[in-house]
């Protein structure tokens, strides 16, 4: 049941994108998120779309997996689209349905905004699809490292993040198992009135919490037993290496930004 969720999961493969330094990828995504807002006409959106497709192609992630992973957010994108179509009153009047009016400007804006949304989600999910969660946290820890000077517990935050990421699949597995065990005892999670269904979740949630707490405690004890005392003086197992392809990726992004600046209206 839980196994269909693809958003936020890593797909091991060998591609340029997979091999990039997570710091570069994070900087790239951050830059991309800003750049997307530069696009405001057909030419700029076309360029942005082409660039994104090129990145997808480089990543060797099969498009159907991306599409499958995007399914849950498609509704959100459609919602934004219709919001703009119905509520933007610009340009010539196209149609009138009941008390809804549709203007040309609204349709164009709807398309642009949902396209922007779509590209953003595509590129960010590409990050998680091509980077092991652990590398993402390593990257974040490295990028935010300077904040340690002003007493931000960067290492601890990164550790918390990597532990949570590590245990998401475990928790999903566990949910699946407990759900099946309760279904075998006649529990019904899928039908009935809403109040009944809320109540039906209790036999699932309690065992889940109990085991999560137990696991947390065991993990804490195991870490302490192996001498963990926080980030101070701790050496690293995975050492990040910045390669020329990482520089190239950021340069490409800068070129894209420049092109968008020239083309935008």
Interface with another protein (CB under 8 A): 3-4, 6, 9, 11, 62, 65, 68, 174, 177-178, 180-188, 202-203, 206-207, 210-211
Measured CA to CA in angstroms, residue 246 lies from 24, 112, 221, 253 at distances of 6, 30, 39, 11
Q: How far is the CB of 183 from another protein (least distance, A)?
A: 6
CA 23 – CA 131 distance, rounded (Å): 11
Closer by beta carbon to another protein, 19 or else 180:
180
Q: How far is the CB of 218 from another protein (least distance, A)?
A: 14
Q: Is-contact 21 244, C-beta < 8 A?
A: no
| 3-class secondary structure per residue, 79-108 | HHHHHHHHHCCCCCEEEEECCEEEEHHHHH
Q: How far is the CB of 55 from another protein (least distance, A)?
A: 19
Measured CA to CA in angstroms, residue 11 lies from 122, 125, 137, 179 at distances of 15, 11, 17, 26
Closer by beta carbon to another protein, 187 or else 240:
187
Closer by beta carbon to another protein, 186 or else 233:
186
Question: Cα angle at 145 between 141 and 148, to 5 degrees?
Answer: 120
Q: How far is the CB of 215 from another protein (least distance, A)?
A: 11
Q: How far is the CB of 203 from another protein (least distance, A)?
A: 5
Closer by beta carbon to another protein, 190 or else 262:
190
Q: How far is the CB of 161 from another protein (least distance, A)?
A: 23
Closer by beta carbon to another protein, 111 or else 183:
183
169: left (phi over 0), alpha (psi -120 to 50) or beta: alpha
Closer by beta carbon to another protein, 68 or else 240:
68
Q: Is-contact 56 126, C-beta < 8 A?
A: yes
């Amino acid at each position: 049941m839980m196994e269909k969720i693809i958003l936020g999961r890593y797909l091991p493969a060998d591609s340029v994108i997979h091999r990039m330094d997570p710091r570069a990828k994070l900087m790239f995504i951050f830059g991309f998120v800003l750049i997307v807002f530069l696009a405001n006409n057909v030419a700029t959106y076309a360029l942005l779309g082409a660039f994104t497709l090129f990145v997808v192609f480089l990543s060797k992630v099969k498009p159907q997996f991306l599409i499958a992973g995007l399914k849950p957010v498609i509704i959100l994108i459609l919602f934004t689209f219709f919001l703009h179509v119905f509520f933007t009153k610009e340009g010539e009047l196209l149609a009138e349905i009941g008390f809804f009016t549709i203007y040309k400007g609204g349709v164009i804006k709807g398309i642009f905004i949902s396209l922007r949304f779509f590209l953003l989600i595509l590129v960010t999910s590409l990050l998680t699809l091509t980077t092991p969660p652990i590398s993402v946290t390593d990257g974040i820890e490295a990028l935010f490292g300077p904040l340690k000077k002003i007493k931000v517990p960067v290492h601890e935050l990164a550790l918390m993040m990597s532990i949570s990421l590590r245990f998401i699949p475990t928790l999903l597995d566990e949910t699946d198992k407990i759900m099946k065990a309760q279904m075998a005892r006649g529990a019904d999670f899928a039908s009935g009135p809403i109040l009944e269904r809320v109540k039906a979740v209790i036999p699932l949630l309690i065992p889940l919490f109990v085991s999560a707490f137990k696991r947390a405690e065991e993990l804490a004890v195991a870490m302490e037993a192996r001498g963990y005392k926080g980030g101070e003086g701790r050496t690293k197992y995975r050492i990040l290496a910045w390669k020329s392809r990482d520089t190239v990726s950021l340069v490409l992004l800068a070129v894209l930004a420049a092109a968008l600046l020239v083309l935008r209206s």
